[in-house]
Amino acid sequence: MSVEIAVRRLAHGDGLALPAYATPGAAGMDLLAAVAETVTIAPGGRALIPTGLAIALPPGHELQIRPRSGLALRSGIVVANSPGTIDEDYRGEVQVILLNAGEAPFMVERGMRIAQAVLAPVIRAAWREVESLDETARNEGGFGSTGTHIPGR
């Protein structure tokens, strides 16, 4: 199944490929850097990287911006607000906040695959205030409360 996404290429995105799936089974489409000059991200630093694309998502969808696993493993490059969300009513340029969690400066060059985008359906919540909640085995157990029991001990 495919869903059409309207895309407008911005001037600084000329010559770059549109987001595409690398394999038939891929969930994410590669996003490319539409930088005019190489951007260097120092260790611990971050940068807003343009893609040169503005989009119109179909109603009931979001575009999730996620790190590329290879960049994260090899260079420590992650998406700072991962996953980033592009809302269906946003019409500005899709940009990616890259964070260098690695130990060396990282160079972002024009056309580099910097992140992946996953189209996802959105289910809207309707809040209903109640006096009490149903009980569960976990109840109010918070951070680290599951997995603390070791079988056989």
pTM here is 0.87
Take residue 67 and report the two structure tokens written for it.
């790190």
pLDDT, one tens digit for every residue, the chain (153 residues): 899 999 999 999 999 999 999 999 999 999 999 999 999 999 999 999 999 999 999 999 999 999 999 999 999 999 999 999 999 999 999 999 999 999 999 999 999 999 999 999 999 999 999 999 999 888 887 776 666 655 665
Question: Which CATH number describes the domain made up of 9-121?
Answer: 2.70.40.10
Q: What tens digit of pLDDT does each residue of 62-100 get?
A: 999 999 999 999 999 999 999 999 999 999 999 999 999
Rounded distance between C-alpha atoms, residue 140 and residue 147, angstroms = 15
Q: Where are the domains of the chain?
A: 9-121
Rounded distance between C-alpha atoms, residue 105 and residue 113, angstroms = 17
